[in-house]
Amino acid sequence: MSRPKVFVARRIPESGLNAMAAHCDLDVWPEQLPPPPEELRRRVADCTGLVSLLTDRVDAALLDAAPKLKVVSNFAVGFNNIDVPACTARGVRVGNTPGVLTDATADIAVSLLLAAARRLPDSAADAKAGRWLTWEPLGWMGQDLVGRTLGIVGMGRIGFATAKRLHGGWGMKVLYTARAAKPDADRDLGARRVELDELLAQSDYVSVHADLNPTTKGLFGAAQFARMKRSAVFVNTSRGPLVDQTALAAALRNGTIFAAGLDVTDPEPLLPSHELYALPNCLIVPHIASATPDTRNAMARLCANNLIAGVTGAPLPHCVNPV
Ligand code: DGY
């Protein structure tokens, strides 16, 4: 019997590639940059499976070019790069990798929060550039953390893990928004579910963990930053388009808020000429939240398990559009 053909849109860890190669004929895109859309369409044309990354747009045009496709296994927990209804309409299952990157992502959210609050980027740049002239009694003042209020926007797994770290380690009070109440957060972290406006007004730290969808796109604009405290630190590890970056840059420049730490931007990569990089109170890292060997290996294995299940007609371990 012929083996299913699968296009893998980038090299992912060997643990995932080897698992898939045991069942399928793999065509792995070897470049650092994503395949251009027309190349992606060409490569997937006679495939049963596709391993996509968050940089690969899976839309109706791509699906129409791949009539044999049974499964799209996304190497990410987020799947805003995929037109899920279009997949569902064609009977294509979509898999993602939840759970395995929770801790790594929460670690980056906390790192960004601490670094932005205590001015690590601009004080380190000053030291390196020779602007460290003496011990400064009034210099490089940051924000305190102990006992402050943390606002988690989107109390899913990663929001919870972030809040757990900051509540447990720094005694932060936790407010959150979520579609439904989260009894675990209320019980274990003493957290309180509130409306976004209240969260923004009361929080010293705002950390964004909501997924990107039509209701969250542009959620943070000038009005939202204006509601926040002037001492507030804003952190985003979810997706860039939740934030109006022009409004964020203005808020950081004008002192409407104190600082920001971003793992995600819109677009990605954000070009070095972007105004946010010029602001000393804005720390940007290149979407690294899941970048540890254990996490990327676990993502690769889960991604492979979804793919193999999809091409063999079994239920996906993590499916975003189960039938
Ligand atoms: C995801 O999985 O959605 C992350 O953003 C990538 O690590």
Atom of ligand 1 nearest to the CA of 75: 2
Calculate the alpha carbon distances from 310 to 10, 69, 90, 176, 296 in Å: 19, 10, 14, 36, 21
User: Mean per-residue pLDDT for 10-28?
Assistant: 98
Catalytic residue check, 157: no
Atom of ligand 1 nearest to the CA of 239: 5
Q: Do domains 5-98+294-312 and 102-284 have the same CATH topology?
A: yes
What count of other Cβ atoms lies within 10 Å of the Cβ of residue 298? 20
Q: Is the pLDDT of residue 321 over 90?
A: yes
User: In testing the pocket of ligand 1, which one of 10, 77, 209 has its CB within 8 Å of the most ligand atoms?
Assistant: 77
* CA 262 to centroid of ligand 1, rounded, Å: 14
**Across the chain, what does the average pLDDT equal?**
98
Active-site residue, from 10, 43, 227, 239: 239
> What is the residue whose two structure tokens read 């209804």?
85
Q: Which of 292, 295, 294, 308 is nearest to 18 (CA)?
A: 308
* CA 290 to centroid of ligand 1, rounded, Å: 6
Superfamily of domain 5-98+294-312, CATH level 4: NAD(P)-binding Rossmann-like Domain (3.40.50.720)
* CA 278 to centroid of ligand 1, rounded, Å: 26
From CA 228, how far away is CA 305, in angstroms rounded? 43
What count of other Cβ atoms lies within 10 Å of the Cβ of residue 274? 16
Q: Which of 258, 246, 247 is nearest to 283 (CA)?
A: 258
> Which residues contact residue 305 at a Cβ distance below 8 angstroms, ignoring those fewer than 6 apart?
19, 316, 317
What angle (nearest 5°) sits at the alpha carbon of residue 247, between those of residues 281 and 33?
75
User: Mean per-residue pLDDT for 249-275?
Assistant: 98
Catalytic residue check, 167: no
* pLDDT at residue 90, rounded to an integer: 98
306, 95 Cβ separation under 8 angstroms: yes
User: Mean per-residue pLDDT for 11-29?
Assistant: 98
CA nearest ligand 1 atom 1, residue? 76
Structure tokens at 98: 């939840």
Q: Which of 301, 305, 304 is nearest to 315 (CA)?
A: 305
Atom of ligand 1 nearest to the CA of 264: 5
The residues spanned by each domain of the chain are 5-98+294-312, 102-284
* pLDDT at residue 105, rounded to an integer: 98
Structure tokens at 27: 């065509």
What angle (nearest 5°) sits at the alpha carbon of residue 241, between those of residues 237 and 244?
105
Structure tokens at 37: 């859309």
Atom of ligand 1 nearest to the CA of 290: 7
Torsion of CA 253, 271, 125, 165, to 10 degrees: 80
Q: In what order do the strands lie in the sheet with 71-74?
A: 25-28, 5-8, 49-52, 71-74, 93-95
Q: What is the pTM of this model?
A: 0.97
Encode pLDDT of 176-219 as tens digits. Answer: 999 999 999 999 999 999 999 999 999 999 999 999 999 999 99
* pLDDT at residue 323, rounded to an integer: 74
Q: Is the pLDDT of residue 11 over 80?
A: yes
Percent of the chain with pLDDT over 90: 99
Encode pLDDT of 32-69 as tens digits. Answer: 999 999 999 999 999 999 999 999 999 999 999 999 99
Domain 102-284 fold is Rossmann fold (3.40.50)
Question: For the chain, percent helix, then strand, then coil, each to nearest 5?
Answer: 40, 15, 45
Encode pLDDT of 282-301 as tens digits. Answer: 999 999 999 999 999 999 99
Q: Using pLDDT thresholds of 50, 70 and 90, give the confidence band for residue 2.
A: confident
Encode pLDDT of 105-135 as tens digits. Answer: 999 999 999 999 999 999 999 999 999 999 9
User: What single string gives the DSSP state of each residue in 273-303?
Assistant: TSGGGG-TTEEE--S-TT-SHHHHHHHHHHH
> What is the residue whose two structure tokens read 């990798």?
97
Active-site residue, from 93, 167, 287, 318: 287
CA nearest ligand 1 atom 4, residue? 76
Catalytic residue check, 318: no
User: In testing the pocket of ligand 1, which one of 96, 290, 297 has its CB within 8 Å of the most ligand atoms?
Assistant: 290
Q: Is the pLDDT of residue 245 over 90?
A: yes
